[in-house]
Amino acid sequence: MTKKGFAWQKIYKNYWFRTLLQNLITVFAVITFIFFLVRMMPGNPLDNYIDFLIDSENLSYEDAYNQAAAQFDFDPNANIVRQYFGYLNKVLHGDLGESLISSGTKVTEQIAQFLPWTIFTVGLGLLISFTLGMLGGTIAAYFRNTWVDNVFSIGASILDSVPDYIWGLFIIIVFGVKLKWFDVGLMRGTYGNDVSPGFNIPFLASALYHASLPVLTYSIARLGGWTLAMRGSTISTLGEDYVNIARARGLRRGRIITSYVGRNATLPLVTLLALYLGLGLGGSVIVENLFVYNGLGRLLTNAIYFRDYTSMQGILLIITVAVIFSNMLADLLYGFLDPRVTVSGEK
């Protein structure tokens, strides 16, 4: 084997190089899949927008067609292969194109406007559920096979078995409509019309108020899973030899829990925390539409409704990249928390 071939083989054995290469191939495959998938959907942007104008403004087909044709530049009969390579070229240059419906608006601008709100609600809900789940799982593990363990385990199983959108409907119907604890209509959107966006207390308070129901939904839906996972991980860690040795040495129970059990039991769950943040972006579609919360999921729903191809492609691509990035972040966290893990890919 030549020196050049040996060098390439050594580079390929590198864990980070292989991971980066695999992720790039994955992104390319997703770009291709999404591009052709959205065009396989019934209807196209032009026809859908014509129908919308006819229904909403009572226009004739000819008037609606002329208005739609002037609204955005799209030829449904254009060569799809040429469209694909044109789109691929734009993506490689960091350009996701312009929205077909919102003429002159770049997809990157749309995503930059709506993505932070989704990250805020999904991230906050995930953090709350993770923290409470760690606490609940630890308590259940230390009191295993008692009534405390049964209560926590059964409750966590119930929470984990119900999808987040069902919890969202439950919150709206029971606490909003029946008990009237809050006005769902006033909590629509991301913040109130009476505040000015910026780093000020009224705006922050309004943003938290409008985000409270989606955050509560995400927290309840994820809490059960974290509790059960932490319970199982803690029970497994309690049986390790180093925990028994720590007890034999007479170390305080609090130190054993924090230094020996807590860190090692939490290790596999912290890596999942980063991964679930990426997955949560894709799962926000139904929840944001339930609460009329203007995040990335609601933007994607509107793009699908109007068959806005470029917006759909851009949003789905961002979600995919978020999942890939969160997966890589999970690997980094695992290596940081457990130095014994070898990330180089070489023994």
**Which residue range forms the structural domain that includes residue 121?**
107-337
Residue 100 lies in a domain: no
181 and 289: one domain? yes
Q: Are residues 252 and 332 in the same domain?
A: yes
- Domain-embedded: residue 303: yes
- The predicted pLDDT at position 249 comes to 65
Q: How many domains does the chain have?
A: 2
| Residues 149 and 26 occupy one common structural domain | no
14: closest CA among 345, 339, 332?
Answer: 345
- How far apart are the C-alpha atoms of 312 and 316, rounded to whole Å? 6
The 10s digit of each residue's pLDDT in 2-41 is 555 555 555 556 666 777 777 788 888 888 888 888 888 7
Residues 317, 258, single domain; the answer is yes
CA angle 281, 344, 322 (to 5 degrees): 10
Q: Do 53 and 125 have their domain in common?
A: no
135-151: buried (b, 16+ CB within 10 Å) or exposed (e) per residue? ebbbbbbbebeeeebee
pTM of the predicted model as reported, rounded to 2 decimal places: 0.80
Q: How many CA atoms lie within 13 A of 114 on its CB side?
A: 28
pLDDT score at 257: 65
Same domain for 86 and 231, yes or no, is no
Judge contact between 310 and 129, C-beta under 8 A. no
Q: Is 306 helix (H, G, I), strand (E, B) or coil?
A: coil
Q: Which helix (H) or strand (E) holds 68?
A: helix 61-71
Return the C-alpha torsion angle 203, 205, 206, 210, nearest 10: 140
Could you tell me if residue 98 is inside a domain? no
Joined tokens for residue 268: 């596999």
Asked if residue 342 is part of any domain, the answer here is no
Asked whether residue 346 is domain-assigned, the answer is: no
Residue 183 lies in a domain: yes
180: left (phi over 0), alpha (psi -120 to 50) or beta: left
Tens-digit pLDDT string for the chain (347 aa): 555 555 555 555 666 677 777 778 888 888 888 888 888 877 777 777 777 778 777 777 777 777 776 666 666 667 888 888 888 888 888 888 888 777 778 888 999 999 999 999 998 999 999 989 988 888 888 888 889 889 999 999 999 898 888 999 999 999 888 888 888 888 888 888 888 888 888 888 888 999 999 999 999 999 998 998 888 888 777 666 666 666 666 666 666 666 666 667 777 777 777 777 777 777 788 888 889 898 888 888 888 888 888 888 889 888 888 877 777 776 666 666 555 554 444 44
CB 137 within 8 A of CB 233: yes
279 shares a domain with 226: yes
Query: pLDDT value at position 117?
Result: 92
Q: Given this model, what pLDDT does residue 217 score? A: 92
* Cα 121 to Cα 211: distance, rounded to the nearest angstrom: 6
Q: Which of 92, 116, 133 is the last residue of a domain?
A: 92
For residue 29, tell me if it sits in a domain: yes
Provide the Cα torsion 63, 65, 68, 69; round to 10°.
-120
Does 344 map to a domain?
no
**Same-domain status, 306 and 169:** yes
Asked if 212 and 255 sit in the same domain, the reply is yes
